[in-house]
Amino acid sequence: MPLPVIKAENLSKNFVIAHEAPERYQSLRDVIAKKAGNLLGQGKKKSTTKEEFFALKDVSFDIHAGDRVGIIGRNGAGKSTLLKLLSRIMEPSSGRITMRGRVASLLEVGTGFHPELTGRENIFLNGAILGMSRNEIRRKFDEIVDFAEVEKFLDTPVKRYSSGMYVRLAFAVAAHLEPEILIVDEVLAVGDAQFQKKCLGKMEDVSKNEGRTVLFVSHNMGVIAQLCQKAILLKQGQVVSYDSAFNVINSYIAMDQAGTNVYLPSDDTARRKENFFTRIASENEKGEGATDYSFDDGIVLDFRFSLKVRTSNLQIGIGINDKLQNRIFTVLKPIDFFRQNGSNEYVGKVKLPARIIAPNIYSFACAIWTREGHVYDYVDNVCPVKIHDNGTNLALYEGIDYGSVIVDAEWFS
């Protein structure tokens, strides 16, 4: 088996954080005495305590040539620290990194650029930093400029570039100067959707067709699923999972679930209303409390309600709203359908189908009402859920309003 191009062995990075002790309340006399003491060199120093913080702890993994590896985790999990260690920007506190091949990194907007130099000059500067000869840079120059779409501003100092222009040129240089290993942080989120798609296509091309290795950090699970074969999940500086991208994304979503998301009415509601919901909870298909779902998951809403007054044409209505509280759709069911669970209490569940509701954030509106429009109970904006994209063909456009449902349309030509 060929040797890995990146090998991390028991990698750790710790920082020392200083904490100043909070000062007690001081009177005017205390302040004057303190100032006088400072002038005479007799002032008391502030007491500080120091804490050791591990951004990464005992991280080990192997990455082989041609692998496309996503690195995911919550903010503060250690993703950016790991990339800085791999890029040799920082040294590990302990452990060892072995890397075989030239590395190109794009960790921040304008990494390695000098703001006073023009775009043209920065291409040659960045190429030299990456170890390219002048002839190699000249050979790739036209491709870089064409990809970055900044030809008009090539002889303008990059300090006048927008953040989008900066990242276009920086990515074009990093991707075209033939590194064996390409490391890209969340920086691509700065660019527009069309350029993001172009960059992702380039990363896939250099990996599949040229056998180069790509490490990619993103909070967009759909893009990770679409681009990467494997993924590393970090939590509090440690590797939780290193497996196929699909399995790791599912682990991340499961880890992110914070237990059952439950609505319970106030005591005032129980006293005041004749018919009302006593409990509403979002669940996964296994009956476990959930707030995060994959696009492939069905969403189950488990609810209970109390009926003190039973009238004709009484029904349950469940609506789902987007993050702007626009109604996506509503489902209805007559009260007679539901099972009685005690003297006045009834229980029911509704499952919303998978692969229809577009990845985004949603909440529920639940009502007990009659067909004639009399509302006994209405609760809005309860049980918020997030649907994660697991690689749909719209994953690249996350953040752009392309609608709230995804349909499998039939096309003709």
Question: Above pLDDT 70, what percent of the chain?
Answer: 89
Model confidence band, residue 22 (pLDDT cutoffs 50, 70, 90): low
Sheet holding 230-235, edge to edge: 103-106, 181-184, 213-217, 68-72, 230-235, 238-244
Does residue 250 sit in the same domain as residue 270? Answer: no
Residue 177 has pLDDT above 60, yes or no: yes
> Which whole-number Å values give the CA distances from 224 to 66, 164, 228, 379, 403, in the listed order?
16, 21, 5, 36, 21
Judge contact between 249 and 225, C-beta under 8 A. yes
Q: CATH no. for residue 373?
A: 2.70.50.60
Whether residue 404 is contained in a domain is answered as no
Domain-terminating residue out of 256, 271, 297: 256
Q: What is the pLDDT of residues 272-285, one digit of tens each?
A: 999 999 999 999 99
Residues 11-24 have a mean pLDDT of 76
How many domains does the chain fold into? Answer: 2
Residues 171-184 have a mean pLDDT of 84
Whether residue 337 is contained in a domain is answered as yes
Residue 305 has pLDDT above 70, yes or no: yes
Residues 331-335 have a mean pLDDT of 96
Instruction: Please tell me the distance from the alpha carbon of residue 338 to that of residue 330, in angstroms, as a whole number.
Output: 18
Supply the pLDDT for residue 178: 78
Does residue 288 sit in the same domain as residue 243? Answer: no
Judge contact between 95 and 12, C-beta under 8 A. yes
Give the DSSP H or E segment for 248: helix 245-256
The parent domain of residue 250 ranges over 54-256
Supply the pLDDT for residue 281: 96
Whether residue 26 is contained in a domain is answered as no
Cβ neighbours for 401, distance < 8 A, ≥ 6 positions apart: none
Residue 23 token pair? 């000062």
Q: CATH no. for residue 165?
A: 3.40.50.300
Supply the pLDDT for residue 252: 83
Does residue 70 sit in the same domain as residue 213? Answer: yes
Whether residue 9 is contained in a domain is answered as no
Residues 189-208 have a mean pLDDT of 79
Does residue 307 sit in the same domain as residue 284? Answer: yes
Supply the pLDDT for residue 349: 96
Does residue 266 sit in the same domain as residue 240? Answer: no
Q: What would the DSSP string read from start to end of 347-407?
A: EEEEEEPTTTBPSEEEEEEEEEEETTS-EEEEEEEEEEEEEEPSS-TTGGGTTS---SB--
Does residue 249 sit in the same domain as residue 269? Answer: no
Supply the pLDDT for residue 101: 87
Q: Which of the residue ranges 25-34, 68-77, 87-96, 150-159 would you say has the lowest mean pLDDT?
A: 25-34
Whether residue 5 is contained in a domain is answered as no
Give the DSSP H or E segment for 198: helix 193-208
Of the candidates 399, 400, 401, 405, the residue with the CA atom closest to the CA atom of residue 220:
399
Q: At what angle do helices 134-148 and 163-176 cross, to 10 degrees?
A: 140
Does residue 244 sit in the same domain as residue 220? Answer: yes
Q: Cβ–Cβ contacts within 10 Å for residue 236, how many?
A: 14
Does residue 250 sit in the same domain as residue 291? Answer: no
Whether residue 306 is contained in a domain is answered as yes
Residue 259 has pLDDT above 50, yes or no: no
Cβ neighbours for 94, distance < 8 A, ≥ 6 positions apart: 10, 11, 12
Instruction: Please tell me the distance from the alpha carbon of residue 110 to that of residue 50, in angstroms, as a whole number.
Output: 34
Supply the pLDDT for residue 260: 58
Instruction: Please tell me the distance from the alpha carbon of residue 389 to that of residue 293, in angstroms, as a whole number.
Output: 9
Domain-terminating residue out of 200, 226, 256: 256
Does residue 279 sit in the same domain as residue 324? Answer: yes
Instruction: Please tell me the distance from the alpha carbon of residue 123 to that of residue 147, in angstroms, as a whole number.
Output: 13
Residue 336 token pair? 């007679």
Does residue 355 sit in the same domain as residue 295? Answer: yes
Supply the pLDDT for residue 313: 92
Q: What is the pLDDT of residues 62-109, one digit of tens each?
A: 999 999 999 999 888 999 899 999 988 899 999 999 999 888 887 876
Supply the pLDDT for residue 81: 92
Q: What is the pLDDT of residues 220-231, one digit of tens each?
A: 887 888 889 999
Q: Which of the residue ranges 6-15, 30-39, 143-152, 153-162 would you say has the lowest mean pLDDT?
A: 30-39
Whether residue 46 is contained in a domain is answered as no
Does residue 272 sit in the same domain as residue 320? Answer: yes
Judge contact between 183 and 103, C-beta under 8 A. yes
Residues 325-340 have a mean pLDDT of 93
Across the chain, mean pLDDT equals 87
Q: What is the pLDDT of residues 362-402, one digit of tens each?
A: 999 999 999 999 999 999 989 999 998 888 888 888 767 78
Instruction: Please tell me the distance from the alpha carbon of residue 203 to that of residue 215, in angstroms, as a whole number.
Output: 10
Supply the pLDDT for residue 343: 83
Domain-terminating residue out of 256, 275, 294: 256
Whether residue 341 is contained in a domain is answered as yes
Does residue 125 sit in the same domain as residue 168? Answer: yes
Residue 230 token pair? 């494997």
